Amino acid sequence: MKPNFTFSLALFFVGAIIVSLNFNFDKKEISVYAQAPERTLLVKYGEEIFRRENCIECHTLNVKNESEKRISLDGYRGTRSASFIAGLMISPKSFLPGSTMPSFAKLEYNNLNKETLKRISNNSSSHPYNLDTAWDKLNKQADQIQNEINNDGIFEHKKSELTALVAFLQFIPPSTEQIKLNTIENERLQKLADEINELYLNAETKILEIAQDKKNISRGKELFQNQCSVCHGTNGQGEIGPNLLDEHTFHGNEISDLLEVTINGTDKGMPAFKQVFSPEQIGQVIAYLISERGNEYPNAKAPQGKKQ
Ligand code: HEC
Ligand code: HEC
């Protein structure tokens, strides 16, 4: 994917106008982040850019509450790769289609500088301080991110203020409230997963019956063509995914094997369908697969796995 930068200049001016309108940085906004002890020089440098560019016009680092219109970056750490973030800052629309965020492409033209480093270090460090050593450290940290982005090969990244901003965004830890919200969300998802597993466990016999009943073939064919054919071909003869009609399989060709793989998926690219289909629909789709077994199609994929 090559990002399209052509419109970034126009958006840059939009951004510049917005930034010049509002320059009040509320100290409270960085409370979550400021409590984290292990900030590197580059992260602190990036905070400086975040402040200066007035990103909090549209973003908050605090947990999002109902009265808050701005987008929360609380706990943004670990959610996106360095190249995604750098690309987003340069060309938001290329990385988030339909994005309304202005471009900050200009940051890639601003070199990191010792003056800024001196200022942030004076503000935050109590121990004796050597600017040259700190400068080397800062540059090593920036080189690391620059290499990481360039190794992804999506676009060429120049070490700059943008690099520092990426480091900052990749650092923002979750607040206690955000951790609580994440825990609640994880519990909700776990409960949902448990319910679905139970649903399938209770329906085991019924699914087997449906899968063996020829009446269900035509309904299963429809489901197969909507959900499975992208990967397994129109009739199951194989595409990206393996041929499901021949005698070779990775996971076995008993009905129970087909059900297990379709319900729970595998770690090699076969998605789980228990959240997509009802137990009845799983049975229907397998009824269709069984009916197609042994059929040969001219464009069939070569056998894979073990002969049964
Ligand atoms: C004029 C409003 C505006 C400004 C200013 C702004 N953003 Fe955004 N930003 C958005 C919007 C809106 C989104 C959500 C995506 C979208 O719909 O554009 C977003 C999304 C993001 C995301 C999350 C993207 C993701 O889904 O992973 C990050 C990170 C981000 N902005 C960082 C910044 C930084 C850093 C600055 C300052 C340099 C900034 N933004 C300035 C409006 C803005
Ligand atoms: C996103 C692509 C994709 C979709 C969609 C998909 N599959 Fe698969 N499927 C795969 C891949 C890849 C494998 C091989 C996985 C492995 O080796 O573990 C596979 C394996 C299987 C297997 C086991 C084959 C064997 O050799 O043991 C069955 C059965 C199967 N899929 C059925 C289905 C059914 C039924 C659907 C639709 C409800 C479906 N698949 C949808 C990609 C897909």
Task: Decide the pairing of beta strands 248-249 and 71-72.
Answer: unpaired
**pTM for the predicted model, two decimal places:** 0.62
Residue 250, ligand 2, Cβ within 6 A: yes
Domain 203-307 in the same topology as domain 8-177:
yes
- CATH, domain 203-307, list 1.10.760.10, 3.40.50.2300, 3.40.50.300, 3.60.9.10: 1.10.760.10
Per-residue model confidence (pLDDT) at position 28: 45
Pick the range with the lowest mean pLDDT from 123-127, 189-193, 243-247, 282-286: 123-127
Token representation of residue 82: 């360095």
Per-residue model confidence (pLDDT) at position 308: 83
The CA 242 to ligand 2 mean position distance, Å, reads 7
Per-residue model confidence (pLDDT) at position 4: 43
Token representation of residue 257: 């094997």
DSSP calls for the chain: -----TTHHHHHHHHHHHHHH-----GGGGHHHHT-TT--HHHHHHHHHHHHTTGGGTEESSPP-TT--SEE-TT-TTSS-HHHHHHHHH-HHHHSTT--PPP-GGGGGS---HHHHHHHHHHH--S---HHHHHHHHHHHHHHHHHHHHHHTSS---SSHHHHHHHHHTT-PPPHHHHHHHHHHHHHHHHHHHHHHHHHHHTHHHHHHHHH-GGGHHHHHHHHHHHTHHHH-TTSS-SSSPPSSSSEESS--SHHHHHHHHHH--TTS----TTTS-HHHHHHHHHHHHHHTT---TTPPPP-SEE-
The CA 101 to ligand 1 mean position distance, Å, reads 5
The CA 150 to ligand 1 mean position distance, Å, reads 22
Ligand 1 atom nearest the C-alpha of 80 is 27
Kindly report, residue by residue over 51-97, the tens digit of the pLDDT: 999 999 999 998 888 888 999 999 999 889 999 999 999 999 999 98
Instruction: Report the nearest-CA residue for atom 10 of ligand 1.
Output: 101
Distance from C-alpha of 259 to C-alpha of 82, rounded to nearest angstrom:
39
Residue 169, ligand 1, Cβ within 6 A: yes
Please report which confidence band the pLDDT of residue 38 belongs to, taking 50, 70 and 90 as the band edges: confident
Residue 229, ligand 2, Cβ within 6 A: no
Residue 265, ligand 2, Cβ within 6 A: no
Instruction: Report the nearest-CA residue for atom 36 of ligand 1.
Output: 55
Task: Decide the pairing of beta strands 306-307 and 59-60.
Answer: unpaired
The CA 212 to ligand 2 mean position distance, Å, reads 20
The CA 305 to ligand 2 mean position distance, Å, reads 13
DSSP calls for 93-111: HHHSTT--PPP-GGGGGS-
Ligand 1 atom nearest the C-alpha of 14 is 1
For residue 170, pLDDT beyond 60: yes
Ligand 1 atom nearest the C-alpha of 19 is 5
Instruction: Report the nearest-CA residue for atom 38 of ligand 1.
Output: 55
Pick the range with the lowest mean pLDDT from 106-110, 221-225, 266-270: 266-270
Residue 75, ligand 1, Cβ within 6 A: no
Per-residue model confidence (pLDDT) at position 12: 39
Pick the range with the lowest mean pLDDT from 62-66, 93-97, 197-201, 297-301: 62-66
Domain regions of the chain by residue span = 8-177, 203-307
Residue 227, ligand 2, Cβ within 6 A: yes
- Looking at domain 8-177, its CATH class is mainly alpha
Please report which confidence band the pLDDT of residue 122 belongs to, taking 50, 70 and 90 as the band edges: confident
Distance from C-alpha of 291 to C-alpha of 283, rounded to nearest angstrom:
12
Scored b (16 or more CB within 10 A) or e, 100-123 reads ebbbbbbbbeeebeeebbeebbee
Per-residue model confidence (pLDDT) at position 124: 54
- Quick one: what percent of the chain has pLDDT higher than 90? 72
Per-residue model confidence (pLDDT) at position 35: 59
Per-residue model confidence (pLDDT) at position 16: 36
Instruction: Report the nearest-CA residue for atom 2 of ligand 2.
Output: 231
Residue 14, ligand 1, Cβ within 6 A: no
Instruction: Tell me how far apart the terminal alpha carbons of the chain are, to the nearest angstrom.
Output: 42
